[in-house]
Structure 1
Amino acid sequence: METRSETSDQQVPLPPRPVLPDMTAARVRGPADVVEAHWQSLRLSWQWRHAVHQVRSPGRRYPGIVPLLEAAAAQPQLRRLYPFTSHFILLFSSSTSYPWNAQAGSIEPLRNGRFRVRRRGPFTVVGEVATAEEAVALVLELLPTGPEPVITADADETGIP
Structure 2
Amino acid sequence: MDANDETCDQQLPLPPKPVLPDIAAARSRGPADVVEAHWQSLRLSWQWSQAVHQIRSPGRPYPGIVPLLEAAAAQPRLRRLYPFTSHFALLFSSSTSYPWTVQAGSIEPLHNGRFRVRRHRPFAVIGEVATAEEAVDLVLELLPTGPEPIITTSADRHV
TM, length-normalised to structure 1: 0.93
Task: Give distance in 1, aligned partners of 2:87 and 2:69.
Answer: 14
Q: Which runs of 4+ in 1 moved over 6 A?
A: none
- Please report how far the alpha carbon of residue 10 of structure 1 lies from its aligned counterpart in structure 2 after TM superposition: 3.4
1:47 aligns with 2:32: no
Partner of 2:154: 154
TM alignment of 1:67-78, pairs within 5 A: 67-78=67-78
Counterpart residue type for residue 21 of structure 2: P
Task: Give distance in 2, aligned partners of 1:27 and 1:8.
Answer: 45
- Please report how far the alpha carbon of residue 7 of structure 1 lies from its aligned counterpart in structure 2 after TM superposition: 5.0
Instruction: Please provide the CA RMSD for this pair.
Output: 1.4
Task: Give distance in 1, aligned partners of 2:100 and 2:9.
Answer: 47
Q: Tell me which of the two structures has the higher relative contact order, counting C-alpha pairs closer than 8 angstroms and 6 or more residues apart.
A: 1
- Please report how far the alpha carbon of residue 5 of structure 1 lies from its aligned counterpart in structure 2 after TM superposition: 8.6
In structure 1, list runs of 5 or more residues that go unmatched.
none
TM alignment of 1:4-153, pairs within 5 A: 4=4, 8=8, 10-153=10-153
- Please report how far the alpha carbon of residue 58 of structure 1 lies from its aligned counterpart in structure 2 after TM superposition: 0.1
Task: Give distance in 2, aligned partners of 1:2 and 1:148.
Answer: 64
In structure 2, list runs of 5 or more residues that go unmatched.
none
- Please report how far the alpha carbon of residue 154 of structure 1 lies from its aligned counterpart in structure 2 after TM superposition: 1.3
Task: Give distance in 1, aligned partners of 2:25 and 2:3.
Answer: 54
Number of aligned residues:
156
Task: Give distance in 2, aligned partners of 1:146 and 1:21.
Answer: 32
After TM superposition, the structure 1 stretch with the greater mean CA deviation from structure 2, 37-46 or 3-12, is 3-12
Q: Percent identity?
A: 82
Counterpart residue type for residue 125 of structure 1: V
Counterpart residue type for residue 42 of structure 2: L
